[in-house]
Each structure stands twice: as structure tokens, then as C-alpha cells.
Amino acid sequence: MPGLIAVVVILVLFLVTCVKVVPQTQAYIIERLGKYRTTWFAGLHAKIPFFDKVVKHVSLKEQIADFPPQPVITKDNVTMQIDSVVFFKIFDARLFAYGVENPVLALENLTATTLRNIIGELELDETLTSREIINTKMQTILDEATDPWGIKVGRVEVKNITPPPVIRESMEKQMKAERERREQILIAEGEKKSAILKAEGEKESAILRADAQKIEMVREAEGHAESIRLHKEAEAQGINMIKQAEADGIRKLMEAGMTQDQVVQLRSLETLAAAANGQATKIIIPSEIQSVAGLATSVKEIIK
């Protein structure tokens, strides 16, 4: 009886070892009598004792292969060190298990040779400024070449590009010279803008001074014209007052009994007196005016 129990326990343990639980994102390669039988994915699986064997566990997650720096030569014969990172994923566990011996090592060597071929077509300056182009070309070539191995290359990144010390020193000098050149350009542009602003300020100042002088001259001319106008208005008013006074005098003479002809003769007499202006010693008076003189004297006494 105890022996039977022991046999049963051993049998149960043996059967338990024949049952496998495959975790998520894992795949098991199963061989039967040394020949590929099937691929187990996530879940519960059982194998036939002594016939089936799990020969390989394959991870289906995306993996990262960080390869060491590789010496490459550019088109202009500059040797440099470049290291790259490859992101890949296994899409066929069977191809990955049977396609190539040591797939990761094969991927590393393929990456190195592809990188040398691409950099060999570029010059130093293009290599330093064309990382995106290098990444795209490498990803395309590697993805196509690794299909028979069950590997899908999703992305390739050039991590570091290390030129020789002499080239780095030359590049640093070039960068320093470029920075100094840009500094001089910025200084020159600043001085140019300053000179332009100063000239524009002087121009605007001159325009404002000219406008002020123009306004002053216009106002002065307007003042002079206003003065002349007021003077002429005053003269016109004086003349009107004189004319009005003369009209009043003639009216009074005519009201005193003088005829229009006698008034005209009297005005002629006054005109002659004004013409003499106190300087003439002898004045010849026409006879028709002499007859009016006495009448004028009488009229003036009446007016008074």
C-alpha cells in the first residue's frame, strides 16, 4: 500500500510537469522527437511526456539592442566612431528560433555593416547633420534583411557620432570663428540701426523746425495783412465820415437858400484855398466865383 501511494504521487508530479502555463507576451517553441512541433502562446498547454520538449522561450515584447561604437569611414576619408540603438520585435517565434544562429549577434553585425555602407556615401559635414536620413535608411534596410529571422525592426537611432580629436579641435575653432563672425555682424547691424535712427531723428527734428518757422511766417503774414485791413477799414471809415460831413454841409447850405450851382462854385473856392495852402501870395479867382464869396460869408454866419 505505501508503495502504491508513492507511485501515484510520482505519477501526479510527472503529469504536473507536463502541463505548462505560458505567460503573456511569451512564446514557447515545442519540438517532438527533435523536430519542430508547434508554438505555444499565452495560456495552459500540455505536452506528451518523453516525446515533446520545450526548446526555446521567446519574448514577444519590443526589445532594445544598444550596440557598442563602430569605426566608420566617411566619403572624404575621415574615420569616426558611431554607436547606434536598434528597437526590434519578434513577430514569428519559429523563424526567430530556426532562422539564424544567435539572432541578436547577427543583428549587431548587420547593423555595423549597414552603418558603414551608409556613412561611406556621406561626407563629414553631411554625416554630422543628416542623422534623420541615416536613421531612416538603416531602419528600412535592417527591417527588410531581418524578415527571414522573424524580427521586425521598428526604429534605429544613431546615438553618438565621435570624430577624431583633430577634427573635433578643427570644428571647435570653426565654431568659434563662426560665433565671432555672428557677433561682428550683430554689432554692425546694431550700429547701422543706431545710425539710421539717429538720422531719422535729425530729419524729423529738421522737419519740425521748418514747420514751426513756416507757421510763424504764416502767422506773421496774417498779422500784417490784418493790420493792413484794419488800417484800410479805418481810412474807409474816415473817408465815409468826411463824405458824410460834406454831405451835411451841402445840405445846410442848400437849406440856407443857395442853389446847387452856387454850392459847386463855393466848393471850388474852398478847393482853391486848399491849393494855395497858405503859401501863395496872390490867387486869381474867376469872376463867377467872386460873386459867391459874399453869399458864402452870409451863409456861414447864418449856419453859425
* 6 vs 274, higher pLDDT: 6
Whether residue 77 has pLDDT greater than 80? yes
Give a yes or no: residue 113 inside a domain.
yes
The domain spanning residue 85 has which CATH number? 3.30.479.30
pLDDT tens, position by position, 255-274: 666 565 555 555 555 555 55
48 and 89 belong to one structural domain: no
* Pairing relationship of beta strands 70-73 and 79-90 according to DSSP bridges: antiparallel
The pLDDT of residue 302 is: 44
24-33, 177-186, 234-243: the lowest-pLDDT one: 234-243
Dihedral sign from CA coordinates of 170, 173, 177, 183: positive
106 and 150 belong to one structural domain: yes
User: DSSP string covering the chain, please?
Assistant: -HHHHHHHHHHHHHHHHTEEEEPTTEEEEEEETTEEEEEE-SEEEE--TTTEEEEEEEE-SEEEEEPPPEEEE-TTS-EEEEEEEEEEEES-HHHHHHSSSSHHHHHHHHHHHHHHHHHTTS-HHHHHH-HHHHHHHHHHHHHHHTGGGTEEEEEEEEEEEE--HHHHHHHHHHHHHHHHHHHHHHHHHHHHHHHHHHHHHHHHHHHHHHHHHHHHHHHHHHHHHHHHHHHHHHHHHHHHHHHHHHHHHHHHHHHTT--HHHHHHHHHHHHHHHHHTTT-S-----HHHHHHHHHHHHHHHHH-
127 and 41 belong to one structural domain: no
The pLDDT of residue 107 is: 92
Average the pLDDT over 25-34 and give the result: 89
State the pTM of this model.
0.54
Give a yes or no: residue 36 inside a domain.
yes
38 and 130 belong to one structural domain: no
Average the pLDDT over 280-298 and give the result: 51
The pLDDT of residue 152 is: 93
The pLDDT of residue 206 is: 87
* Pairing relationship of beta strands 35-40 and 19-22 according to DSSP bridges: unpaired
* Averaged pLDDT of the chain: 79
76 and 50 belong to one structural domain: no
Closest CA to 266 of 288, 245, 247, 281: 288
147 and 95 belong to one structural domain: yes
Give a yes or no: residue 269 inside a domain.
yes
Choose the final residue of a domain: 109, 137, 163: 163
Residue span of the structural domain in which 264 resides: 256-277+284-304
The pLDDT of residue 148 is: 92
The pLDDT of residue 303 is: 45
pLDDT tens, position by position, 101-129: 889 899 999 999 999 999 988 888 888 88
Closest CA to 88 of 158, 24, 142: 142
Dihedral sign from CA coordinates of 146, 151, 154, 159: negative
If one counts the domains in the chain, the total is: 3
156 and 91 belong to one structural domain: yes
Whether residue 31 has pLDDT greater than 50? yes
Give a yes or no: residue 197 inside a domain.
no
19 and 37 belong to one structural domain: yes
Structure confidence at residue 240 as a pLDDT band (50, 70, 90): confident
Give a yes or no: residue 146 inside a domain.
yes
- Of all residues in the chain, the percent with pLDDT exceeding 70 is 75
Whether residue 1 has pLDDT greater than 70? no
Structure confidence at residue 63 as a pLDDT band (50, 70, 90): very high
Give a yes or no: residue 217 inside a domain.
no
146 and 119 belong to one structural domain: yes
The pLDDT of residue 67 is: 86
Choose the final residue of a domain: 163, 192, 207: 163
For residues 110, 113, 118 and 124, what is the CA-based torsion angle, rounded to 10 degrees? 130
The span from the CA of 185 to the CA of 179, in Å, is 10
Residues near 80 by beta carbon (within 8 Å), at least 6 away in sequence: 71, 72, 74, 119, 124, 127, 161, 162, 163, 164, 167
Whether residue 164 has pLDDT greater than 50? yes
Give a yes or no: residue 250 inside a domain.
no
76 and 157 belong to one structural domain: yes
Contact in structure between 53 and 92 (CB atoms under 8 Å): no
The pLDDT of residue 300 is: 47
Average the pLDDT over 157-184 and give the result: 83
Give a yes or no: residue 53 inside a domain.
yes
Closest CA to 57 of 78, 27, 86, 33: 27
Whether residue 14 has pLDDT greater than 70? no
Whether residue 48 has pLDDT greater than 80? yes
pLDDT tens, position by position, 82-99: 889 999 999 999 999 998
The pLDDT of residue 10 is: 73
The span from the CA of 84 to the CA of 135, in Å, is 9
85 and 127 belong to one structural domain: yes
78 and 146 belong to one structural domain: yes
